[in-house]
Amino acid sequence: MPAARKALQETGRLTIVALGSSATAGSGASADDKSYPAVLQAELGRRLPGVEVRVLNKGVGGQSAYDMLLRMQADVVDEKPAIVIWQTVINDAIRDIGEDKLAKILRKGVGKARAAGIEMILMDLPWLPREGRYPHYDDYRAVLVKTAQDQGISLFPRYAMMKGWSNSRQFTPEELVGMDGLHLVDAGYRCLALRLADGIVAGIGPVRIEAAGGGKPTN
């Protein structure tokens, strides 16, 4: 993640925008500070001492990929983040908007972030205990995965991670997905944020930041 690394080296700050729908907004969490963006900010702050970390929660429940594309300028580009985490496609899959249409929307969104010099992480769809309710779910997942591959951007493997949690019985069903069958609850959001922090810190790599007042640089 060269853009994020450069921002850290030059400013000592790391700004991330979490763009998404209800899973980003924190539906299912018991409080605002239990959403994945809030936990991610706290965790990155702990792992990157001396860095001013901001994770801006731009989640709006029920939105489609196109809805998010329309607000990408104001909610992402204008905020001048180093990284945007785009959690999307779930509502498009449920509504079955058309795979070709979705692919075009995703490409436009990736291109808009790239033109602004912002690193993008696309978040895979969630594993759902009853995803069979949505006949084309896997097809829409495939569009998201292929977009990330074709565009050469990071894909956060939320689906595989959640399926692994379920198979290993690391969580009870109630701890993994809430009563609505769609959204994580506190324990799941926390683990999601921790794994995102792992990937972001690894992607940035070791960074030396000049301490304020001419002190020794911090790692």
Q: Which pLDDT score, from 0 to 100, does residue 217 have?
A: 45
DSSP structural state of residue 50: T
Strand order of the sheet with strand 154-156? 52-59, 13-20, 83-87, 119-123, 154-156
Residue 53 has pLDDT above 90, yes or no: yes
State the average pLDDT over residues 35-49.
95
pLDDT tens per residue across span 108-132: 999 999 999 999 999 999 887 766 7
pLDDT tens per residue across span 54-85: 999 999 999 999 999 999 999 999 999 999 99
Question: Closest Cα partner for 15 from 61, 74, 49, 57?
Answer: 57
Q: How far is it, in rounded angstroms, from Cα 114 to Cα 119?
A: 7
The residue type found at 193 is A
The residue type found at 90 is I
Tokens 């959001």 — which residue? 189
Task: Report CA-CA distances (Å) from 27 to 35, 62, 92, 104.
Answer: 8, 11, 18, 28
Q: How far is it, in rounded angstroms, from Cα 191 to Cα 37?
A: 12
Contacts of 116 (CB under 8 A, 6+ apart): 76, 77
Cβ-based neighbour number of residue 84 at 10 Å: 28
pLDDT tens per residue across span 155-193: 999 999 888 887 777 766 666 665 455 677 788 899 899
Q: How does residue 21 score in pLDDT terms, banded at 50, 70 and 90?
A: very high
Q: Which pLDDT score, from 0 to 100, does residue 216 have?
A: 42
